[in-house]
Amino acid sequence: MSKIVMKLDELSCPSCMAKIEGALNTTNGVEMAKVLFNASKVKAEFDENQVTATDLVSKVEGLGYVVQKSKVTEI
């Protein structure tokens, strides 16, 4: 199991948090995704055999959010 932490440009509302969590948590290979609203971060655990960190970044960006690429950390 791999982990990723993504720093986003500011989140404007709690519904943004739910939208991101919902999209990631229904993605094949994602075990858990959690948005830290006040820190504007997304943490996720995923199976790298089913989905990549790049896929997860693209998924968040596809929802209209800006991921600060220099602040993406794979653990």
| SS3 assignment for the chain | CEEEEEEECCCCCHHHHHHHHHHHHCCCCEEEEEEEHHHCEEEEEECCCCCCHHHHHHHHHHCCCCEEEEEEEEC
pLDDT at 71: 86
pLDDT of residue 4: 97
Query: Per-residue confidence of the chain (75 residues) as pLDDT tens digits?
Result: 999 999 999 788 889 999 999 999 999 999 999 999 999 999 999 999 999 999 999 999 999 999 998 888 888
What residue ranges define each of the domains in the chain, with the CATH number in brackets? 2-74 (3.30.70.100)
Quick one: pLDDT at residue 45? 98
The pTM (predicted TM-score) of the whole model is: 0.92
